[in-house]
Structure 1
Amino acid sequence: MRSTRSHLPDGGEWATSRISERAYCLLCPNPSPMTLDGTNTWLLREPASDEVVVVDPGPLDHAHLRAIVSTVESWGARVGLTLLTHGHEDHAAGADEFHRLTGAPVRRARRAGGDDDLGAGDVVRAGGLELLVVETPGHTSDSLSFVLPAENRLLTGDTVLGRGSTVVAHPDGDLEAYLGSLERIERLTASGEVTSLLPGHGPFVADAAGVVAWYREHRAQRLEQVAVAAAAVTPGVGEDLADAVVRTVYADVPREVWPAARLTVLAQLEYLRTHG
């Protein structure tokens, strides 16, 4: 991986990391316990093409949006298409403004609305670049991932992160759907169609199969822990069952992520109620 630094017209500075021949990452400066180092905006370009596909322009951060445009223009190219992995603010809130800046169409999951939006098996092409759409709901109901067949890479949004595990954002997120999405990605790794991951947060993942296997094992372990805790804990004053389970099962994680853990616990409790 190689990083380069460039300058905005207003004097700002940003870093672009080249991951491969076609994939570049521009990190949004929005770090937090939920976004890790920040949101990864992916710039995808067929070598020597004058069109770039941007995946997840990020939050409504005007400096970051300008940095994306300036980076693309520094290559002598233009943004031909914008894709969204899902609708969470840290990935998608800047999409409308980015459309105004570039004129490029913005495409997202079909269930998010729009006549020509994306569903499983769709193929997206721009500037000679080809991406295959994979529906990966669970983190949210509208989560998509994109296979870059030329490099056997999968852009995963928040479905699989570069570090740590993700949130199943109940009630929009659903654990059964999420487990199905992990199985879908695992099939892609088993077939060799996907060997590495370009996540929405955290570093590039070279061993896609290993990370997805860990995700499945980790989710099964957490689900068992939640089942045991739900049968044993007594909520304290001002708590409900989910709060008490978080306090018990997620005692090993920082308290600032407990609100997110609570969403996942709610999804896990719903799954347990459904599946006994």
Structure 2
Amino acid sequence: MKKIILLTLSCFMLSTVVMADCLDAHSSASYALMHTKRALKSDNFDHQRYYAERAVDAFEKTQQKMQGCDCAEAGKAIEEALIDLKKAVDPVDWKTGNFFTKKALEDAEAMMNALEICTSSPASTNTTSSVNTYTAEVAGIDENQDNLLEAQKALEAKQQKLLEEQRKLQEQIARQQALKEEIKKERQAELAVQIQLKTEADQAIADYKNAMKQLLKTMECPKAQQVLDAFIYNKSEASLQHESLAETKKYYQNLLIKVQQEALSAIQNCN
């Protein structure tokens, strides 16, 4: 009976160690995801390469920690992310680096999803009930057996060790949650900048159109005015949620070029 208990307890401890390795990898993976997002959001070529290189380091550390974590899908995603990020570290131009960073971000999100599943195993949450089960088994051993007291003491020591492992796992989960909150705050700050950019750009473009229309009115050029009146765009604030600050800047850059082209075309149509 004692051998059965020790074998069962050994299997349970192995499961707990594997869970701890997966949580440790998950924590490192969060940094890899964060640096990949920063690389993608960078509108500066040097910044893009810098964060891509930091993401490579974080992915490699995660890959090392994955050796004790049985999570094949996460391991595959890490390998693919490293391939793309290493191309983003030294690309021929910003556009190429951005392309490979986007691919790496997809791999990073797949890695996080896989690790979320692997770290949601019921092994850690059932620690207390499992320990109680072992205690009940020992209590059922014939009290006349000479090794009963020794088995009980050994089991209590294992119980304390398991509870300590559970405490460490809970601390790791708390750190991961704090990291998620940090990433969320960074995104909220970026979104605030995007909203301000949209407000100022919309007003500037509207003022520019009105000024051009007033000039065309003075020049008695109604057909040209119609050209500007036909130029309408509509970008909702909600759409900013699905793009980075760099993408918002690029959108308004192209929009400004277009409205200037429309204004030039309107002037050329004045007769």
Fold shared by both chains (TM-score > 0.5): no
Superposition TM-score, scaled by structure 1 size = 0.23
User: Whose RCO is larger (CA < 8 A, sep 6+)?
Assistant: 2
Bigger helix share: 2
The structure that has the greater radius of gyration is 2
Superposition TM-score, scaled by structure 2 size = 0.23
